Amino acid sequence: MCGIVGYVGSQSALEVVLAGLRRLEYRGYDSAGVAVLADGQIASARKSGKLVNLEKALVDGPLPAGATGIGHTRWATHGGPTDANAHPHLDNAGRVAVVHNGIIENFAELRAELAGRGHVLTSETDTETVAHLLAEEFSGCADLAEAMRLVCRRLQGAFTLVAVHADAPDVVVGARRNSPLVVGVGEGEAFLASDVAAFIAHTRSAIELGQDQVVEVRRDEVVVTGFDGRPAEVRHFRVDWDAAAAEKGGYASFMHKEIAEQPRAVADTLLGRIGADGALILDELRIPAAELREVDKVVVVACGTAFHAGLIAKYAIEHWTRLPCEVELASEFRYRDPILDARSLVIAISQSGETMDTLMALRHAREQGSRVLAICNTNGSTIPRESDAVLYTHAGPEVAVASTKAFLTQLVACYLVALYLGQARGTKWGDEVLGVVRDLADIAGAVERVLGDMEPVRELARSLAGAGTVLFLGRHVGYPVALEGALKLKELAYMHAEGFAAGELKHGPIALVEEGLPVVVVVPSPRGRCVLHDKIVSNIQEIRARGARTIVIAEEGDDAVLPYADHVVRVPVTPTLLQPLVTTVPLQVFACELAVARGNEVDQPRNLAKSVTVE
């Protein structure tokens, strides 16, 4: 959720921090603030609402120039989105400033202790307690990093903290537990941020910060320790995309841009993973083939759009490996006492690598002795670091809150894992694997073709801007696609939308069908699943007879749907299991265009954040 930026160097800290916060706006927020160290003092400004409100306040009341500073975009948890609750928070003397992402679970107890010692707290937040605790601890040791370590040992919950002190003008200190924080290392300057996007315009050199670690950054030095004060191993990595990748590049929104980038993202995710002999080479997995042969169950855990990728993965995993596969909402997983052991393979899917529900599910799985494989788009994030193996997607930065290219690349990664499991277990012969790999290699071009013929979909979306409800139907791998189409419409257009398995239509949902109701139907291939194709054509007939406005997504050449479709959206012919890679794209365009027609902000939908880092 919240965006955090810290800077120490020779540039204007205010300009660097504000620019970083702009790059983190996609995370979702409802207030913003900055603090700058100048002339032995801390100067700060905070405003509720969007970053532009803060920038206007800074024009009206400029802060003094300084080369050390911190900033924050807040998603309200403790206390509403007001000026008083916005970060940074200062102690009563105004000597320490803190920004925070996460939830401090024992803040009420700490707040009561502070009040008992005469501290006056002026906000409703849990964060303000940290500022006061840091001030107390610093007064006893005059070392901001040590003060942070002492405070962190008292905190319960999930948190990222970044702080500055007026008596330590050339250092910024950060700490993390169950919440993201990365370090950027430049020439004579250093950065702290919740995402590398905040500092990518300045440096691509980054450091992973591990669990329960404190980092102190100066212009030419980075020191990492555990909460216990012991030196920690520093893990460097290089960001493989540049600042231009995080810009709109002439598109109306980041979502428009990211939809258009999908052919390249799909191709990049396949790059370098196929040997000359056609065998898959997934060096990142780091799990020996002998161990994979011992697996007797696969469990996929994920949330939101990633969960839908997992539902599609189930079809491929079971078909290609003959292993039973369960797909679980990560938020529910550990609370139902799942049956896991050392022969279970758990696949955790997360675009950000910081999704708290998925992280906690991963940890539970490891406690049961299971191997965990992460599918993730963000190098250096927590979920890959805590997994036994990782397969990185190569979608590049995804800024829009509603996932598009991350979803398609997650699907590609899931297919690769399923094929690799089949290859390791001997359930797929080499020529069979090579055949599927060749089909996957053709998908980027197929997605490009779909995107080239989307104007009729945009026109249709605009015509439905006044609709109150849209239903989505699918069968087999088309069912998760229907769920994803409905989710996109909910996220972006704020409309009631539901996805159903078409076979369940007669078991209740058909009661929703009335005159003029738009119903989107994802039709299976008439070749790969001919029985299901005939059944879903019958479904289309049933809803059309009851007055529905039928919008049919069907393969090129499938003329059986024509008599019953009010609108037909064509997609290229693809193998059955890979069809979601092309049928999802029109639904993304449909939701995006409909949201624009309704006047909504597609990059930052209301009430949503890009990365959900609290349970």
- Domain assignment present for residue 609? The answer is no
Rounded mean pLDDT, 152-170 = 93
- Domain assignment present for residue 471? The answer is yes
239 and 323 in a single domain? The answer is no
68 and 175 in a single domain? The answer is yes
CATH of the domain at 337: 3.40.50.10490
Tokens, residue 423: 């290859």
* H-run or E-run covering 535: helix 530-545
Where among 405, 420, 451 does a domain terminate? Answer: 451
- Domain assignment present for residue 586? The answer is yes
56 and 197 in a single domain? The answer is yes
Confidence class for position 29, pLDDT limits 50, 70, 90: confident
- Domain assignment present for residue 606? The answer is no
**Structural domain of 108:** 3-246
Q: Identify which has the larger pLDDT, 276 or 376.
A: 376
96 and 125 in a single domain? The answer is yes
- Domain assignment present for residue 579? The answer is yes
Please write the tens of the pLDDT for every residue from 80-129: 889 999 999 999 999 999 999 888 989 999 999 999 999 999 999 999 99
Where among 193, 223, 246 does a domain terminate? Answer: 246
Please write the tens of the pLDDT for every residue from 446-504: 999 999 999 999 999 999 999 999 999 999 999 999 999 999 999 999 999 999 999 99
Where among 429, 451, 473 does a domain terminate? Answer: 451
Token pair 């409703």 is found at: 124
445 and 459 in a single domain? The answer is no
Rounded mean pLDDT, 507-518 = 92
166 and 97 in a single domain? The answer is yes
- Domain assignment present for residue 534? The answer is yes
CB atoms within 10 A of CB 172: 27
pLDDT at 281: 78
148 and 76 in a single domain? The answer is yes
Please write the tens of the pLDDT for every residue from 241-298: 666 666 777 889 989 999 999 999 999 898 888 776 767 877 677 788 889 999 999 9
86 and 157 in a single domain? The answer is yes
Those residues whose C-beta lies under 8 Å from the C-beta of residue 452, and which sit 6 or more positions away, are: none
- Domain assignment present for residue 613? The answer is no
For residues 536-561, one letter each, b for 16 or more C-beta atoms within 10 angstroms of the residue's C-beta and e for the rest, the string is: bbebbebbbeeebbbbbbbbeebeeb
Q: How many domains does the chain have?
A: 3
Rounded Cα–Cα distance for residues 608 and 115 (Å): 34
pLDDT at 476: 95
Confidence class for position 18, pLDDT limits 50, 70, 90: very high
432 and 506 in a single domain? The answer is no
pLDDT at 242: 66
Please write the tens of the pLDDT for every residue from 297-326: 999 999 999 999 999 999 999 999 999 999
CATH of the domain at 171: 3.60.20.10
Confidence class for position 63, pLDDT limits 50, 70, 90: very high
Please write the tens of the pLDDT for every residue from 201-256: 999 999 988 889 999 999 999 999 999 999 998 888 888 766 666 677 788 998 99
Compute the mean pLDDT over every residue in the chain, rounded to the nearest whole number: 92
Rounded Cα–Cα distance for residues 179 and 614 (Å): 8
316 and 216 in a single domain? The answer is no
Closest among 132, 88, 451 to 264, alpha carbons compared: 451
pLDDT at 23: 85
- Domain assignment present for residue 520? The answer is yes
Tell me the catalytic residues: 2, 610
Phi, psi of 114 (to 5 degrees): -65, -45
pLDDT at 321: 95
447 and 459 in a single domain? The answer is no
225 and 92 in a single domain? The answer is yes
pLDDT at 289: 84
